[in-house]
Structure formats: C-alpha cells, structure tokens
Amino acid sequence: MSESLIEKINRLKTQRNAVILAHNYQPAEIQDAADFCGDSLGLSIKAAQTDAQVIVFCGVKFMAETAAILSPQKTVLLPDKFAGCPLADTITAEQLSGLKQKYPDAVVVCYVNSSAEVKAQSDYCCTSSNAVEVVSSIPQDKKIVFVPDQHLGRFVSEKTGRDLVLWPGYCHVHVAITEADIKSAKAKYPDAIVLAHPECTEPVKKLSDQLLSTGQMLDFVDKSTAKHFIVATEIGMIHPLKKQNPQAEFLPASDRALCPNMKKITLEKVAWSLEDMQYKITIPQEIRIKAKKAIDKMVEILPSKVGKD
C-alpha cells in the first residue's frame, strides 16, 4: 500500500528532526497535522523552546521570521514563500525611519505583524495579547509611535489612556467584518458572547463583549460556561474553538473574514517543504540582533506568560 500524505509528513519529520507549528487560522487539516497550534506569540515561544532542529512554520512570513529571530541555530521553513501578511506590508523600514525623524524622542512600539527590518528599528515589539501591558510599561512622559495596525493602536490607546502616534495600517480580513454582521449574528443568537480580535474596526469592537488575541479566545472559552459565541476574527479560528469545546456553538461573524495568505499552506506543501528543506527563512545577523532586542524587551515585561505552555 502506498504511503499517505500524513504518513509521508510524519516520516520526513522524524528524518529531519522537525516539528510542525500551525497558527490558529490555518486550514483545519494543517492544524490537525501540527505538533503545536497557537497564536503568534505562543508559536514563537514554542519555536524557541523545542529541541527539534527544524521548524516547519505553517502561518505567514512575519511569524516564521519571528521564530528565526528567536532561534537562529534552528532551521525555520515556510512551506509557501508567498504567504505574507498585507498588514505587515503596510509599513516599510524606510517609512518607519521617516516617522522616527518626525518624532525623534518617541519610543517606537511595533506590532509583531511587521517585517524583521521594522522590528529592528523599534524599541519594543508587542502582540495583540500583550500590547496594553507593553505600552503601559513605558514612562508616562514618553511619546509613543505605534505601528502598523491603527485598530489595535486605538484599542491600546483607549485601554491605557495614552495618546499614541498611529500608522494607518489595517488588516483587510478584520476590517471586512462590519457592524451589520455583528448585529445580524446577535439577532440569531441573542444570548451569545461576542469575541472580537483587536484588529477589528472600532464600531465592531464597541458591539463586542471581549477583545482578545486568538490564544486568549481559546483560554476565555475554555473557562466560560456560555453555550453560544459569535467570533469576529478570521474563520479558521472556528476549528480550534470547536475542537477544544465541542459542547459549545461558534458562529463566525462573517464568512468574508478569510485570510487568503493563511490558506496558502497545504499538506502537500508541508510534505514538500520537509523533503526539499524549503523555504528557509534567514535574517541578516545585524537585523536579527536589533529585532531580537525589541522582542526581548516585550518578553521582559511578561516573564510569567513566557514560560507557560
């Protein structure tokens, strides 16, 4: 009998001493084949902690880059080199450099959804799960430039009371979820709890009960006794939520909230990636060291969360 695709992946994984990491938005079959699933911060920590020599990163480029920044001695593979993040691409290193010239005394905080070059020019990195804590740790008298997601930035500004200089970047997937989507989902499930990602627009966030990263959504639902949830984020998130909580019902706020870049990863590409050891993510040493400083500063603020599984 010929070898199945999953058998082939498992055989190659052993041969290469590899692990497969998958983001919560990945296609269901990729999440099911992965060794670990999680949000962007959780997966980078897993990448740094694993003893495996090869990491197949099923996600988008900035996530694989973050793993490579934290684990330079390991080989990080992205199964599709075109799996990018349009939000991360809304700001280049040159544009950030221009912004820094305009606000020379400001502290720069970049969302993890950014290139390694942008991270290298930032003082702090943050994720959607810790952006509020990172910004709160910066002295009150400091001006703060926050890039690139304006919607996460506004959420942080509201939570911390800080006046941030925002970059007009946004995630096309999350802004596709509208106020009308939430209202019609609520009409179907009036008792449902609305979970939204902070990348959503402000009117959507106003109608939501909880603003959470994808990892925080899983934690929240795990502790909740509610039966119905409206999920305002990328639709791939429904799979891990259902898997973890088969007794609850999850309604995607919008079927349009689909990230085409996340769906570029397939099982065939994962097998090929392990076979040909492609595409290797490498970061020039000078950029890597500077970018790591910004990530380390975030990690210093959150020691209790980083050691956690």
Please give the residue ranges that form the binding site for ligand SF4 (CB under 6 A): 60, 85-87, 113, 171, 173, 234, 259, 261-262
Q: Residue 117: name its binding partner from ligand 13P, ligand SF4, none (Cβ under 5 to 8 Å by kind).
A: none
Q: Residue 90: name its binding partner from ligand SF4, ligand 13P, none (Cβ under 5 to 8 Å by kind).
A: none
CB of 221 to ligand 13P, least distance (A): 14
Q: Residue 253: name its binding partner from ligand SF4, ligand 13P, none (Cβ under 5 to 8 Å by kind).
A: none
* Sites of contact with ligand 13P (CB under 6 A): 24, 39-40, 113, 127-128, 171, 197, 199, 213-214
Q: Residue 40: name its binding partner from ligand 13P, ligand SF4, none (Cβ under 5 to 8 Å by kind).
A: ligand 13P
CB of 36 to ligand SF4, least distance (A): 18
**Residue 104 preceded by cis peptide, ω within 30:** no
CB of 171 to ligand SF4, least distance (A): 3
Helix (H) or strand (E) holding 125: strand 124-126
Which whole-number Å values give the CA distances from 27 to 46, 179, 237, 238, 247, in the listed order? 20, 26, 9, 10, 21
CB of 89 to ligand SF4, least distance (A): 9
CB of 157 to ligand SF4, least distance (A): 19
Backbone torsions φ then ψ of 242, nearest 5 degrees: -65, -40
Q: Closest Cα to residue 125, out of 42, 168, 202, 66?
A: 66
89 or 123: whose CB is closer to ligand SF4? 89
Pair 152, 128: CB distance under 8 Å: yes
Burial 211-233 (b: 16+ CB within 10 A, else e): bbbbbbbbebbeeeeeebbbbbb
Q: Closest Cα to residue 198, out of 111, 72, 73, 298?
A: 111
